[in-house]
Structure 1
Amino acid sequence: MSISAQNRSLPDWFTRIRTRQTVLPRFQRFEAWSYANVTQLFNTVLQGLPVGAVLVLEVGNQEPFLSRTIVGAPETGERVTEHLLDGQQRLTALWRGLHNNYPDRTFFLYLTDDEETGQPYWVDSIARWKNATDGDYRPFWANKPSEQWARGAIPLDLCAPGDNAVTKFNEWARKAIADTDEREKVKDRIWAIRQIFATFNLPYLSLPVTTQKDTALEVFLKMNTSAAPLSTYDIVVAQVEAGMGQSLHDLVSEVRKSCPDIESYYPAEDVVLYASALLHDKPPSNATYMEKDFGTMLVSTWEKLLKGISSATIFLQEERIFDAARLPTDVVVPVLAALWAEAPDGLDIEGRYRSVLRKYIWRAFFTNRYEKSTNSRSLADYTEIKAYLGKSRDAAPAVFDEKQHPLPEIQELVNASWPKKKDRLARAILALALRQGGYDLADGSTVSRANLPKREYHHLFPDAHLRELEVPDDKIYRSLNCALVTWRTNRNISCKEPERYLAERRAAAELGEADLVARLASHLIPYQEMIQGDYDAFLEARARLIHTAMQEICGTTKVDANIAPSLQPA
């Protein structure tokens, strides 16, 4: 078997996807990238950097595997000529982003300098949603060219290669940009950006049509699960040992011994590299780790770093964030480690650190602060928060800026998906609920690190019950419909409607209804809407409870006075 390497431009890939010549074998996992991954890919392409080669299997008269099209692509077309074995996430992101066909997201191009790379343009995205009475998606400004341009935002699909995008851009520009000279300048810039996409080369390795099915599967598995290239950490280990005569493996073992819980949140070796870079005011990137004197810097602040990692872990436990599976964004872990490394011990000043860092992590969880440019933003947050905690208390960090990073609106909370997925907002909602105590609905035990393995993700309105009501799956699997309960409670509730299983709890609880209300309140679950059984009203009511708690912990002053009754018995 021979594998040939070939070049293919992005427009050629798009043609093959559009005509269904290139499809996916059905055994591949589905689209898995976060919007942050998609954004990063587009900004990599705009920098003119490669994104790696993909792998295809040539197809003859008969497809060797059952297949499906890339998400968002036409499902009918010409004869299938190749199966995409590796590269699904990249090609799906490029296709969907440049066609703007994500249902709950819109990607925009901004013609300003990128804060991380210095590039004169960059890509980011915004969440989209509809209320029940809306005719169009919110936020409404994102539907109007003039308001898009007022924010410096150009829909990314207008930058796609092809004549259709040119026509669409010209129509958009006439509506968006009143000044003729400015419009022509923007057209010239968009033409240049369109050329970047039109000439972008995504190379591929091709397995010949004669490749046996078992051989193709073996190659697929090796490409996806068995490759073990030398890691950045391995290289840094060698540099430290060569330059300092000390073993970085031994130092990281010291971290695991003195702070064993850190690995519940973040790999010990990675947090050591990341936090060490921040402590020396350097971006946490491979370029920094590969610097000749990085090992020397790391060792020079070792004791401080140990203190910071330990304090960060304790702080996360105090906030009742128990592990990586319940952590909305892991970027906060090394930033916390670096900031706690600088913290004084005891009394009021330590209290100030705790208050500011609490606000920091919850704003990081609930806003899009780390969906883009995580390296530069984590360094900026470390630098700005450290200054804010010191003498420069008037200069609030960017992460606290409501205009740059607004907290989600109630409908965004309603739409947040199931928290078992790697969805930041969904996990943030669950984390905030657990912070209230998370008492089990039946036995009354509070959720803890020790009993977490015995807890399960429970549908407050059971999925079987909602399916009987013909509620679609994406609406059943909402973060607001989730609570962590013991496996016994989950089995006992099974598919019972809320009114029935809450009646059973009321009858069984020694303290009666008041005890049950308190247990629900410890998850920020509205009692009245639960017993009434109106799922939409329940989602809305719980979103308001979460919204109020979110605003309070994130340091805003907006509180909805109509929320408290939802936690009370009728």
Structure 2
Amino acid sequence: MSIEARNRLLPDWFTRIRTRQTVLPRFQRFEAWDHSRVTQMFNTILQDLPVGAGLILEIGDEEPFISRTLKGAPEKGERVTEHLLDGQQRLTALWRGLHNNYDDRTFFLNLLTDEETALPFYVDSIARWWKDDDKEFRPFWANNPKEQWNRRMIPLHLIEPDISAQQSFREWVKEAIDEQEERDKISDQVSLVRQKFASFNLPFMSLPVTTKKQTALDVFIKMNTSAAPLSIYDIVVAQLEAGMGKSLHDLVADTRKVCPNLSAYYSPEDLALYGSALIQGRAPTNATYMAKDFGLKLLENWDTFLNGVSRTVDFLEQERVFDAARLPTDVVIPVLVALWGVAPKGLDAEGRARAILRKYLWRAFFSNRYEKSTNSRALADFTELKPLVTGTGSSDPSIFKDGLHPLPEEQELADAGWPVRRDRLARAILALALKHGGADLADGGAATRASLAQREYHHLFPDAHLKRMGISDDQIYLSLNCALVTWRTNRNISDKDPERYLAERRDGTNLGDAEVKARLATHYIPYDEMVADDYPAFLKARATLIHTAMISLCAGGGT
């Protein structure tokens, strides 16, 4: 195999993109540059500086990889003649910027002196948006040639080195500028900039049509891991498509459609690797993902994975665990996916599996099982729990052994920190309250996935109130002093002492103390100690309530 270095001017690149001769292998990552990176590249070109080189694979009669067009480029055209292995971000930015087909930005050539380069022009962009019943993009001035020129800004697509763009510029300048002399002067400046783009050379290295698929893939991986590192997921995507002609991007996209709430818990891309490794009975490590047979086995077990994803999300919602922001440990997600993927469906067999997985879930939340060595322990838990879940055998899983992974005592629960932080035990306590209902203290609404977006972390004993009592911050910001309530309730309570705001709740309903006590009970909040304004006694009493419920859940029962 020989790699040949070549030159190619930007108009030639654009012709190939426009006619779909140059496309991307599907395993490439998607467009990633933000508008500031795009702007920086354009201004580098205006300074007559290089922006790097590309890499293409020449195509014969048949494409070796599944392909797609560059973002914003025509999807129909002539026969594909080359796959762009490296240079996607640069060419996509050049194409979209010079055609102004970004959804939320418009790029302009500013005919003002650039303070950094001292050039009499530079490229920049502005945000665009719709509002209410607008018939035009905002800001409105950006749609009007005269208003654009008042700011000395010319839409960048009018500078593209193409005959049609030149004609569009002539129409624009007539509408934007009244004086012919000024039109001529500006046209000369624009011609200079257009020539910079027309003569811009983006060199590339070319792999010949005789290059084997695996060789092209190896070159792609080596080039990308040395310059802009690929993730392991990117490499698995590439290997899967090279070896089997299947798109992992498509599979993961289907997963999002089948189970749209999955992303609330875990990245579908990462889960596809982690969960698939466990289903294969292998450790979820880079070595596993890079193994030659990993992609093939991933495809073989994909239906099991999808089944596990759907049932896991249903299970978590039934356990009232709604999102990653309140998840004590995310290691449970791939383990649950692998186990629910093989769990029996229906009647007592599913009931048995559910009880085992409930016990696993809550012990994982409350014990130190995943404090370290998470990959090996995740595999061990899958391996040990699988025969119990499927009913094919017996085992004594490590996660169920109190001697190895004891549950916290009441004092440990009382010492747990503020759950907004990534504190496993603090979040486990909050999760337990949500599991029990987590009703809002004022409106009585239960915690749901939708309502959590409107809820805030509330001090049951307000922090200002406790500070007046001389309580230190480390004793104020405790999980036992926290409940999720609506922002309206949080603002209404403010810094009032508990007896006062509970009285307001009691007076606000005809049901009196019974309703207030019922709402508190859904959080395992002791009423008497709150009314007595006895903070130490409150912490102790709530720790006891949480501990009792925890023991029941971690034994596989309910709350």
Secondary structure of 2:483's aligned partner = strand
Q: Which deviations, in whole Å up to 9, do the C-alpha atoms of 1:107-128 show, x marking residues without a partner?
A: xxxxxxxxxxxxxxxxxxxxxx
Tell me the residue number matched to 1:376. 376
Tell me the residue number matched to 1:526. 526
CA distance in 2 between partners of 1:556 and 1:403 (Å): 18
CA distance in 2 between partners of 1:262 and 1:350 (Å): 22
CA distance in 2 between partners of 1:395 and 1:278 (Å): 18
Q: Which deviations, in whole Å up to 9, do the C-alpha atoms of 1:405-464 show, x marking residues without a partner?
A: 000011100000000000000000000011110111111110100111111100000011
Alignment of 1:255-274 (within 5 A): 255-274=255-274
CA contact (8 A) 1:426 1:479 kept: yes
- Measured after TM superposition, the shift of residue 468 of structure 1 is 1.0
- Measured after TM superposition, the shift of residue 386 of structure 1 is 0.5
- The code of the aligned residue for 2:332 comes to V
- The code of the aligned residue for 2:349 comes to I
CA distance in 1 between partners of 2:518 and 2:393 (Å): 39
Matched, 1:426 2:434: no
Tell me the residue number matched to 1:367. 367
- TM-score in terms of structure 1 length: 0.57
Tell me the residue number matched to 1:245. 245
Identity %: 64
Q: Which deviations, in whole Å up to 9, do the C-alpha atoms of 1:258-304 show, x marking residues without a partner?
A: 11111100000111101100111000011100001111010111111
**Which structure's CA Rg is the greater one?**
2
CA distance in 2 between partners of 1:484 and 1:522 (Å): 11
CA contact (8 A) 2:358 2:556 kept: no
Tell me the residue number matched to 2:555. 555
Tell me the residue number matched to 1:455. 455
Tell me the residue number matched to 2:284. 284
Q: Which deviations, in whole Å up to 9, do the C-alpha atoms of 1:55-98 show, x marking residues without a partner?
A: xxxxxxxxxxxxxxxxxxxxxxxxxxxxxxxxxxxxxxxxxxxx
- TM-score in terms of structure 2 length: 0.58
- The code of the aligned residue for 1:471 comes to I
Secondary structure of 1:485's aligned partner = strand
CA distance in 2 between partners of 1:399 and 1:306 (Å): 25
- The code of the aligned residue for 2:523 comes to H
CA contact (8 A) 1:388 1:397 kept: no
CA distance in 2 between partners of 1:389 and 1:454 (Å): 37
- Measured after TM superposition, the shift of residue 345 of structure 1 is 1.2
Tell me the residue number matched to 1:323. 323
Q: Which deviations, in whole Å up to 9, do the C-alpha atoms of 1:192-218 show, x marking residues without a partner?
A: xxxxxxxxxxxxxxxxxxxxxxxxxxx
CA distance in 1 between partners of 2:290 and 2:420 (Å): 35
Tell me the residue number matched to 1:254. 254
- The code of the aligned residue for 2:472 comes to P
List gaps (5 residues or longer) in structure 2.
Answer: 1-226
Secondary structure of 2:419's aligned partner = coil
- Measured after TM superposition, the shift of residue 393 of structure 1 is 5.1
Tell me the residue number matched to 1:335. 335
- The code of the aligned residue for 1:527 comes to Y
CA distance in 1 between partners of 2:408 and 2:228 (Å): 40
CA distance in 1 between partners of 2:392 and 2:262 (Å): 31
Alignment of 1:211-250 (within 5 A): 229-250=229-250
Matched, 1:293 2:273: no
- The structure-2 alpha-carbon separation of the partners of 1:240 and 1:337, relative to structure 1 and needing over 3 Å to count, comes to same
CA contact (8 A) 1:529 1:537 kept: yes
CA distance in 2 between partners of 1:301 and 1:392 (Å): 19
Tell me the residue number matched to 1:400. 400
Secondary structure of 2:266's aligned partner = coil
Q: Which deviations, in whole Å up to 9, do the C-alpha atoms of 1:462-513 show, x marking residues without a partner?
A: 0110111121111110000000001110000000000110111111122110
CA distance in 2 between partners of 1:378 and 1:323 (Å): 20
Matched, 1:444 2:444: yes
Secondary structure of 2:229's aligned partner = coil
Secondary structure of 1:451's aligned partner = helix
Tell me the residue number matched to 2:121. none
CA distance in 1 between partners of 2:294 and 2:510 (Å): 61
- The code of the aligned residue for 1:473 comes to D
- The code of the aligned residue for 1:373 comes to S
- The code of the aligned residue for 1:418 comes to W
- Measured after TM superposition, the shift of residue 395 of structure 1 is 2.2
CA distance in 1 between partners of 2:343 and 2:390 (Å): 10
- The code of the aligned residue for 1:340 comes to W
Secondary structure of 1:458's aligned partner = strand
CA distance in 2 between partners of 1:453 and 1:545 (Å): 27
CA contact (8 A) 2:463 2:476 kept: yes
Secondary structure of 2:408's aligned partner = coil
- Measured after TM superposition, the shift of residue 392 of structure 1 is 6.0
CA contact (8 A) 2:440 2:447 kept: yes
RMSD between aligned residues: 1.5
CA distance in 2 between partners of 1:346 and 1:556 (Å): 18
Matched, 1:388 2:384: no
Alignment of 1:507-518 (within 5 A): 507-518=507-518
Secondary structure of 1:450's aligned partner = helix
- Measured after TM superposition, the shift of residue 532 of structure 1 is 0.6
Alignment of 1:182-201 (within 5 A): none
Secondary structure of 2:450's aligned partner = coil
CA distance in 2 between partners of 1:396 and 1:423 (Å): 28
CA contact (8 A) 2:344 2:390 kept: no
- The structure-2 alpha-carbon separation of the partners of 1:540 and 1:275, relative to structure 1 and needing over 3 Å to count, comes to same
CA distance in 1 between partners of 2:295 and 2:544 (Å): 49
- Measured after TM superposition, the shift of residue 400 of structure 1 is 0.4
CA contact (8 A) 2:458 2:484 kept: yes
Deviates most, 417-426 or 464-473: 464-473
- Measured after TM superposition, the shift of residue 391 of structure 1 is 4.8
Q: Which deviations, in whole Å up to 9, do the C-alpha atoms of 1:248-267 show, x marking residues without a partner?
A: 11110011111111110000
Q: Which deviations, in whole Å up to 9, do the C-alpha atoms of 1:136-193 show, x marking residues without a partner?
A: xxxxxxxxxxxxxxxxxxxxxxxxxxxxxxxxxxxxxxxxxxxxxxxxxxxxxxxxxx
CA contact (8 A) 1:388 1:396 kept: no
CA distance in 2 between partners of 1:499 and 1:389 (Å): 47
- The code of the aligned residue for 1:286 comes to N
- Measured after TM superposition, the shift of residue 394 of structure 1 is 4.2
CA contact (8 A) 1:237 1:248 kept: yes
CA contact (8 A) 1:329 1:364 kept: yes
Alignment of 1:148-187 (within 5 A): none
CA distance in 2 between partners of 1:271 and 1:429 (Å): 26
CA distance in 2 between partners of 1:523 and 1:248 (Å): 42
CA distance in 2 between partners of 1:474 and 1:420 (Å): 14
Matched, 1:536 2:548: no
- The code of the aligned residue for 1:505 comes to R
Tell me the residue number matched to 1:214. none
CA distance in 2 between partners of 1:288 and 1:412 (Å): 38
- The code of the aligned residue for 1:350 comes to E
- What is the number of equivalent residue pairs in this alignment? 332
Secondary structure of 1:296's aligned partner = helix
- The code of the aligned residue for 1:371 comes to E
Tell me the residue number matched to 2:482. 482
- Measured after TM superposition, the shift of residue 228 of structure 1 is 6.1
- The code of the aligned residue for 1:325 comes to A
- The code of the aligned residue for 2:301 comes to T
